[in-house]
Amino acid sequence: MLDYRTHTFLEVYRQRSFTRAAENLLITQPAASQHIRQIETHYGCTLFVKTGRGIEPTAAADLLYQRLLTMENDEARLAIEAGALAAEPSNTREAPLRLGCTRTIADYTAPRLMAAHLSTHPQAEVALLTGNTRELVRSLEEGTIDFALVEGFFDRQRFDFETLSRERYIAVASPKEAKRCAFDRRTRTDEAGRAAASVRDLLGERLILREAGSGTREILEKHLAARDLAVTDFAGIVEIESIPTIKACVRGGAGITFLYRVAVEEELARGELADITPDDFAIEHDFCLIWQRGSQYASRYRALCDAWWTLM
């Protein structure tokens, strides 16, 4: 059980205010200040400094917050497990799985994983939250999920991880648009007279992409930036949160998109979409299972990832 002063520190850190933290914790402001001083004495460091707008955490406070937040969330998980055993001592079921998945994984990878998991763990309790990478990272820190399967970038200083799979990232268009794009590329040649297939050849197309914060979009933005390009360099942009809607728009010839091949395998096989990935844009990226660094449940998450990896 965490010391009550730990909860005070975490709330002060979140609120950047002794007064608001004290109000939320139903204690007095002097009591909150005293708790912080006692923690500073214990660790031998200053945790907050006064600024013109209130207080700001020090580097030591940043470190302490990440570690104690993990402990707070682990304690909440432990309380759930202990409570279930207290209510039903003979209960041999595993602790509930509270996981998050980014949308590509939720729609095209998780169904297979969940079906296999439930077939071998018929009494398992599973709660699956879907969101973009940014939203799932926030849910991990808030303790509303225990781990997440993500396709985007995450802070490897704050989260431990295991790689579930490596996936191809491609550009797709309708078959009609694909033929036109191929013709356009053939009209451009390099100095040796050979056909040049470059991502720059696609800039005249309307780009249909996911919302800011999604892993699918972050991958595209990063690799475009490495070529001194941005999504705004395309002829037009349409932002849509739904992958099925994006695919429907592309099938209808409304534009092109970039996404993971796993999300369009069926459409490619049926000839409804075409792979137009430029020669200079061959990309692969990992789908990762992530959790808070230092969690006492790390071995459980690694074992799950190992079991799921065999299904990929």
Do 277 and 178 share a structural domain? yes
User: What is the extent of the structural domain holding 252?
Assistant: 167-284
Name the average pLDDT for the chain. Answer: 90
Q: Work out the average pLDDT over 3-19.
A: 95
Do 295 and 158 share a structural domain? yes
Do 104 and 70 share a structural domain? no
Do 279 and 173 share a structural domain? yes
Do 251 and 171 share a structural domain? yes
Domain count along the chain: 3
Q: Of 75, 93, 112, which residue sits at a domain end?
A: 75
Residue with tokens 């998991």: 117
pLDDT digits (tens, 9 = 90+) for 251-263: 999 999 999 999 9
Q: Of 49, 75, 101, which residue sits at a domain end?
A: 75
Do 292 and 272 share a structural domain? no
Tell whether the model's pLDDT for residue 151 goes beyond 60: yes
Q: Are 124 and 117 in contact (CB under 8 A)?
A: yes
pLDDT value of residue 196? 37
**Pick from 82-86, 199-203, 225-229, 280-284: least confident:** 82-86
Q: Which of 149-158, 193-202, 284-293 ranks highest by mean pLDDT?
A: 284-293
Q: Structure pTM?
A: 0.82
CATH assignment at residue 272: 3.40.190.10
Do 218 and 206 share a structural domain? yes
CATH assignment at residue 27: 1.10.10.10
Q: Work out the average pLDDT over 266-284.
A: 94
Q: Work out the average pLDDT over 34-53.
A: 95
Do 261 and 116 share a structural domain? no
Q: Work out the average pLDDT over 11-35.
A: 96
Do 159 and 295 share a structural domain? yes
Position with higher pLDDT, 96 vs 138: 138
Q: Work out the average pLDDT over 264-272.
A: 95
Tell whether the model's pLDDT for residue 194 goes beyond 80: no
Tell whether the model's pLDDT for residue 187 goes beyond 50: no
Q: Of 45, 75, 105, which residue sits at a domain end?
A: 75
Among 189, 204, 191, 172, CA closest to 272? 172
Do 142 and 179 share a structural domain? no
Concatenating the DSSP letter of every residue in the chain gives ---HHHHHHHHHHHHT-HHHHHHHHTS-HHHHHHHHHHHHHHHTS--EEEETTEEEE-HHHHHHHHHHHHHHHHHHHHHHHHHHHHH-TT--PPPPEEEEE-HHHHHHTHHHHHHHHHHH-TT--EEEEE--HHHHHHHHHHTS-SEEEESS---TTTEEEEEEEEEEEEEEE-HHHHHHHHHHHHT-B-TTS-B---GGGGTTSEEEEPPTT-HHHHHHHHHHHTTT--GGGSSEEEE-S-HHHHHHHHHTTS-BEEEEGGGTHHHHHHTSSEE---GGG-EEEEEEEEEETT-TTHHHHHHHHHHHHTT-
Do 231 and 85 share a structural domain? no
pLDDT digits (tens, 9 = 90+) for 85-133: 777 766 666 678 899 999 999 999 999 999 999 998 888 889 999 999 9
Do 171 and 265 share a structural domain? yes
Tell whether the model's pLDDT for residue 221 goes beyond 70: yes
Position with higher pLDDT, 229 vs 193: 229
pLDDT value of residue 91? 63
pLDDT band at 83 (very low <50, low <70, confident <90, very high): confident
